[in-house]
Amino acid sequence: MSVRRLAANQPDSFAFSAESLKQVKAWIARFPEGRQQSAVIPALWLVQKQQGWVSEPAIRVVAETLGMPVIRVYEVATFYTMFMLEPVGSHALVQVCGTTPCMLRGANDLKAVCQRRFGDRDHLSADGKVTWQEVECLGACSNAPMAAINDYYYEDLTPGIFEQILDEFIAGKPRAPGSVIGRQGSAPEGGSAVLQDASLFDGTAAKALKALPNAEPKTPGKAKEAAQ
Amino acid sequence: MPKAKVNGVEVEFEPGMTVLQVAELAGEEIPRFCYHERLSIAGNCRMCLVEVKPGPPKPQASCALPAADNQEIFTNTPMVKKAREGVMEFLLINHPLDCPICDQGGECDLQDQAVGYGRDGSRFALNKRAVEEKAMGPLINTVMTRCIQCTRCVRFITEVAGVAEIGLISRGEDVEITTYLGSAVTSELSGNVIDLCPVGALTSKPYAFNARPWELKKTETVDVMDAMGAAIRVDSRGPAVLRVLPRVNEDVNEEWISDKTRFAVDGLSRQRLDSPFIRENGRLRPATWAEALSVASARLSSAKPERIGAIAGDLQDAESLKATLDLFRTLGSANTDCRQDGMALGAGPRESWLFNAGISGLEDIDVLLLVGTNPRFEAPVLNARLRRRWLSGDLQVGMVGSAADLTYDFDHLGETASALTALAKARSGFAKVLKGAKAPALVIGAGALSGPHGAAVAHAAAQVAKAFGMSWNVLHTAASRVGGLDMGFLPGEGGLDARAMTAKGALDVLFLLGADEIDLSASDAFRIYLGSHGDAGAHAADLILPAAAYTEKDGLYVNLEGRVQMGQRAVFPKGEAREDWTILRALSEHLGKTLPYDSLDQLRSRLFADHPSFGQIDWAPRGQADLSAIGVAGEVGDAPLSSGVKAFHLTNPVARASVTMAECAALAAGPAKLAAE
C-alpha cells in the first residue's frame, strides 16, 4: 500500500442519483438526530456504487448531505482502501489476494497474468476496461488462490482459468462466481474426506455413558467437603 | 478524596483524574506528545507509559487511564524506562535528523524528550519515510516529514478553534496531517497549532529561519491587538521584535492568542515614524525634536483653549492618555475624547463600560445574548471560551445583529435594535429562555454602541438586561478604551467629542494621540500626530511626533473586564522616536505648563492617586452595572447592528503595516470578492 491521493483528473460535479439518494436517506434515518455523520461509510459506498469510484466532488457532496466537515469525509475516504480514489475499469475491478495462503497456492502467477495483460496495478488498463489490484486477505483462504472481480469471489484459480474469466468479463459475459473447480463452499477439494463412515450416523456407534465427563466425584464425604 | 501512591509517595487526588495528572500532582514528570491539558485525550503517542498496580503486567498509557483509589503508580521502574526508550526509538524511526535546520530546534519537545528518555542510538537501518509538504496558508509552515502524528493540531482546530479544517488522512505508516486539498486554515486562532506542535512539523511561516530561541530576549508583557489584554511573551533580538508567543493567564487567555497578536509583529518594523516630521508646502520633511516641539507649542499656545482638542487612539497605554489629558486640562481645553468610534458610553459609574461577568466568569453563564457583536473577530480568544462553554452543554445563545459564523449555534433574533425592544416585551421564544435563566449575560459590541443611535441602542439593551436580570458586558475592541474611560478621557464640560472635533472649522489645533481610525477628511485644523506608525493619522498630519509602539514602552493597559495589566518594554523605540509620555512631558515644558512628573513612576503615582482603580494591577472587578443609567431612550434606528470589526486582520496601525496580516486579509476577503462578482 502506498500513500493514497485523490485522482489528478476529477469530474466537475457529482450528484446522487434518485435511487442512491433514497438509500442515503434510509441510512441517515437509522441514526439518531444529530448523528447523521454515522452514515458516512454507507454514503461513500453508495457513491462508489454509482460512480465506480469516489471523486473529489462526491466527497464534498457527501459532507454537505451529512452536514459534516469535508475534511472528516476526506479522512474516511482515504483511510479505507476499499474506496477507490481513481476511476476503475469499466468492465472489471480485479482484486487479487496476495496474502500468505493465496501466495503459497500461486497468487503470484495470477498477479503475473494481470501484469502482463493490464499493465501496472492500481491503474486503468490501456483500453480502460480493467483495473487490477493486489489486496490483503479476503477471507477465502481455504479456496486459495482467489480474486474478487467486481462484487464477487472467484476461487481455486489457475492462471489459465483466471485468464478465461477475465476474457469473459471483458466480453461482458461474466460467469457465475464461486469455486471454479466446483468445490462446495469451503469443503475440501473433491468433497469431504472425513466423517464418511455411514455407521457414524446410524446410531450404532453410540454407547451409554457411565458418567458425565468432568462430573463431580460421587463420594459423599468429598462432595460435602467441596460444598463447604 | 481518593488516594494513590506515586513511586511510594501517597497523594490525594480528585475523582476523575487520569494517572498522568496524579503523577504530576506528586511532582513526577511524565513525558508526552499527544496529551495536552486543554484538548481531548487521544492516547496515540504512547510516550506517557507508566506501570500501574493493580493492573496488567505491562506499561499503561497514563494519559488515558483513569486513576483509581489505592492505586500504585510507578514512573521510574526498569519496565517504564525500557518502554519509554522503545516508544522514543519508534517515534524517531521516521523522524528526520534535521535538527540543525529545523526552526523548532532548541524548543522542541521531541528533542528534549529524546535526550531525557530515549536511548543513544537506533536499530533501524532501512529508509525513512518522507511526506509531501502541505499548504496551510500564509501563517503555518509545514515540514510534514517531521510529523509524529500526535494529532494535537487536529484536535485544537476542531475543538477549540471550532473550524474542522485540519485532518489526519490515510492510515498506518502513510498517515498525513493536512487541510482539505491544501486550503488555508481560516481560523483566527490557527497560529496556536504552531505552539502545540511538539516537533518542527508546523512552524511559523513569517518567523521561518529567523532566529534560535536561545538568542532571543524574552519580555513578558500584554497584548494590545484587542481589548482582552492577552498575556504574551515578546521575543526580540537587538532592536527587532521577532515573534510573539502566548503566556498562560488562566483568567484571560488561558494559553491561546489570536493570529493578529502573534503575526502582526512584522508591522512593528514597517511604516515606522523614526523622526519628527513637519509639513511644509504640502510635503512632510524630517525635522529635529527641538523644531518639532517648538512648532507644536507655538501652535498650541497661540490657539484659544476651546479651539484645541485631543483624540486618543486605540493602542495607547494609560500613562500617555493621562499625560495628554493632564496637558490639555492644564491648557484649559475641555476637548478630549478617547472614543474614535463615537461609542455612546463613558458617563456614569465604571461598571457601565466594563465586561462585568469577567472573562473567566463566562464559564458560569447559562444564557448569552449577543448584541451587535462578532466575538470571533473582536476577541477570538474570548470566543474560544464561549465555544467551550457552549460545547459543555446547556448554553443558549441569542444574537441581535448581523449573523456570522461564530463556531457555535445561536438563535438569530433579528438584525436591528428593534429586536431588542421586542425582546423586552416578548413572552415566548428566546424571552422565555431568558426568563428561566439562572446566570444570563448580555454582551454588547462596540459596533452597536457607536452608530448615530448608539445611546438609544445602549438604552434598549440595558432595558433587556434589566428585564431579565442579565449581567452587562461591553465587548470593547480597543485596548486603550477602558483605560481612557476610567480616567475620564472624555469631553469636559462644554467640550467637543471626537466627531465634533474633526468637523470643518471646529478647531485650530487637533492633537492626535495615536488616533488612526477616525475620518479626518473634513478637519481643517493644524493636526499634530503623536504615534508610532505612518498610518492614516500620520498621513493627515501637519506635524508628526514619533512615539513608541506597544513593545517599546512600559505601560499600563486596562482590559475589557477592568483588569489593569502592566506591559513591559521589549526593545527601544525606533530612531528618534521616544516613549509617548516623555514627548508629552517635553511638550508641556515648551508650553511653559510643565506636567508635574519627571519619571514614569511619578506619572503612575499621580495616575493611581487620581484614579485608584489603576492601582489594582492584575485584578478584575466583578460588579453589576446600574442598568437604568445606561444610554438614552430614543429612536434605535433601523440599520443592522453589525460588528465594529469589518476586517479582522486590519484593525490597527501595527496590523495594517504588517505584510503577514495583509496576506491574511486578502485571503479572508478572497471568497467574498468572488461571490460579489
Report the residue from B171, B172, B180 with minimal CB separation from A74: B180
Report the residue from B165, B171, B176 with minimal CB separation from A71: B165
Give the rounded distance of the alpha carbon of B400 from its chain centre: 24
DSSP state of A153: E
Residue-level pLDDT at B676: 46
| Cell triple for B284 | 512632510
Whether the Cβ atoms of residue B224 and residue B550 lie closer than 8 Å to each other: yes
Residue-level pLDDT at A221: 58
Contacts of B165 in chain A (CB under 8 A): 69, 71
Alpha-carbon distances, residue A199 vs A193, A202, A209, B66, B402 (angstroms)? 15, 5, 19, 60, 87
Q: Do B169 and A75 touch (CB under 8 A)?
A: yes
Q: B492 by DSSP, 3-state: which? A: coil
Report the residue from B165, B168, B174 with minimal CB separation from A4: B174
Q: Indicate the pLDDT class of residue B21, thresholds 50, 70 and 90.
A: very high
- Closest A-chain CA to B163: A69
Q: A192 by DSSP, 3-state: which? A: coil
- Closest B-chain CA to A71: B180
DSSP string, A64-118: HHHT--HHHHHHHHHH-TTS-SS---SSEEEEEE-SHHHHHTTHHHHHHHHHHHH
Evaluate if residue B239 carries a pLDDT over 90.
yes
Higher-pLDDT residue of A3, B285:
B285
Report the residue from A69, A74, A79 with minimal CB separation from B171: A79
Direct distance between the N- and C-terminal alpha carbons of chain A, in angstroms, rounded to an integer: 61
Q: B313 by DSSP, 3-state: which? A: coil
Q: A139 by DSSP, 3-state: which? A: coil
Distance CA(A149)–CA(A60), nearest Å, equals 28
Higher-pLDDT residue of A183, B291:
B291
Q: Do B181 and A6 touch (CB under 8 A)?
A: yes
* Nearest C-alpha neighbor of B294 from the set B587, B596, B578, B592: B587
Cα-Cα-Cα-Cα torsion A212, A214, A219, A220, nearest 10 degrees, comes to -90
Q: Indicate the pLDDT class of residue A192, thresholds 50, 70 and 90.
A: confident
**Per-residue pLDDT tens digits for B93-141:** 999 999 999 999 999 999 999 999 999 889 999 999 999 999 999 999 9
| Cell triple for B403 | 449573523
Higher-pLDDT residue of B614, A208:
B614
Evaluate if residue B262 carries a pLDDT over 60.
yes
Alpha-carbon distances, residue A219 vs A212, A225, B147 (angstroms)? 15, 10, 69
Whether the Cβ atoms of residue B412 and residue B399 lie closer than 8 Å to each other: yes
- Closest A-chain CA to B165: A71
- Closest B-chain CA to A85: B170
Average pLDDT of the residues in B273-282:
95
Contacts of A72 in chain B (CB under 8 A): 164, 167
Residues 6 or more apart whose Cβ sits within 8 Å of residue B614: B318, B483, B486, B487, B556, B558, B564, B604, B607, B608
Taking the CA of residue B88 and the nearest CA in chain A, the distance in Å comes to 24
Assign 3-state DSSP to chain B and report helix, strand, coil percentages, each to 5. Answer: 35, 20, 45
**Per-residue pLDDT tens digits for B397-408:** 999 999 999 999
Q: A170 by DSSP, 3-state: which? A: helix
Give the rounded distance of the alpha carbon of B136 from its chain centre: 22
| Cell triple for B305 | 483653549
Contacts of A75 in chain B (CB under 8 A): 167-169
Residue-level pLDDT at A200: 87
Alpha-carbon distances, residue B476 vs B125, B257, B360, B509, B512 (angstroms)? 58, 17, 16, 29, 20
* Nearest C-alpha neighbor of B464 from the set B379, B378, B399: B399
Which residue intervals of chain A are DSSP H helices? Answer: 18-29, 40-51, 56-66, 70-79, 100-104, 107-118, 159-170, 220-227
Residues 6 or more apart whose Cβ sits within 8 Å of residue B92: B110, B114, B118, B122
Distance CA(B239)–CA(B237), nearest Å, equals 6
Report the residue from A3, A4, A75 with minimal CB separation from B168: A75
Q: Indicate the pLDDT class of residue B594, thresholds 50, 70 and 90.
A: very high
Whether the Cβ atoms of residue B413 and residue B419 lie closer than 8 Å to each other: yes
B168 touches chain A (CB under 8 A): yes
B171 touches chain A (CB under 8 A): yes
Average pLDDT of the residues in B556-562:
96
The percentage of chain B sitting over the pLDDT mark of 90, rounded to a whole number, equals 93
Residues 6 or more apart whose Cβ sits within 8 Å of residue A14: A47, A51, A55, A57, A58, A60, A61
- Closest B-chain CA to A80: B170
Q: Which of A1, A2, A3 to mutate to test the interface with B (most CBs of B within 10 A)?
A: A3
Residue-level pLDDT at A226: 52
A–B CB contacts, 8 A cutoff, strictly below? 36
3-state secondary structure B335-386: CEECCCCCCCCCCCCHHHHCECCCCHHHHHCCEEEEECCCHHHHCHHHHHHH
Phi, psi dihedrals of residue B486, rounded to the nearest 5°: -60, -35
Contacts of A70 in chain B (CB under 8 A): 180
Cα B552–Cα B558–Cα B560 angle in degrees, nearest 5: 125
Report the residue from B164, B170, B179 with minimal CB separation from A78: B170
Taking the CA of residue B270 and the nearest CA in chain A, the distance in Å comes to 37
Residue-level pLDDT at B675: 45
**Dihedral over Cα of B321, B325, B327, B333: its sign:** positive
**Per-residue pLDDT tens digits for B300-315:** 999 999 999 999 999 9
**Dihedral over Cα of B76, B77, B78, B80: its sign:** negative
Q: Do B174 and A1 touch (CB under 8 A)?
A: yes
- Closest A-chain CA to B131: A3
Cα B439–Cα B444–Cα B449 angle in degrees, nearest 5: 155
Q: Do A74 and B167 touch (CB under 8 A)?
A: yes
Pairing between strand B176-179 and B166-169? antiparallel
Residue-level pLDDT at A220: 63
Evaluate if residue A83 carries a pLDDT over 60.
yes
Judged on CB neighbours under 10 Å (0-12, 13-18, 19+), A172 is exposed
Distance CA(B308)–CA(B299), nearest Å, equals 9
Evaluate if residue B674 carries a pLDDT over 70.
no
Taking the CA of residue A136 and the nearest CA in chain B, the distance in Å comes to 14
B180 touches chain A (CB under 8 A): yes
Average pLDDT of the residues in B506-535:
95
Distance CA(B169)–CA(A70), nearest Å, equals 12
Helices and strands per DSSP (H, E), number in chain A: 8, 5
The percentage of chain B sitting over the pLDDT mark of 70, rounded to a whole number, equals 99
Residue-level pLDDT at B347: 86
pTM of this structure: 0.92
**Per-residue pLDDT tens digits for B35-76:** 999 999 999 999 999 999 999 999 999 999 999 999 999 999
Contacts of A69 in chain B (CB under 8 A): 158, 164-165, 167
DSSP state of B495: -
Contacts of B167 in chain A (CB under 8 A): 69, 71-72, 74-75
**Per-residue pLDDT tens digits for B371-393:** 999 999 999 999 999 999 999 98
Evaluate if residue B276 carries a pLDDT over 50.
yes
B127 touches chain A (CB under 8 A): no
Average pLDDT of the residues in B503-528:
95
Evaluate if residue A188 carries a pLDDT over 60.
yes
* Nearest C-alpha neighbor of B22 from the set B81, B65, B85: B65
B179 touches chain A (CB under 8 A): yes
What average pLDDT does the structure give for chain B? 94
Q: Do B180 and A70 touch (CB under 8 A)?
A: yes
Q: Which of B132, B153, B169 to mutate to test the interface with A (most CBs of A within 10 A)?
A: B169
Whether the Cβ atoms of residue B310 and residue B321 lie closer than 8 Å to each other: no
Contacts of B172 in chain A (CB under 8 A): 1
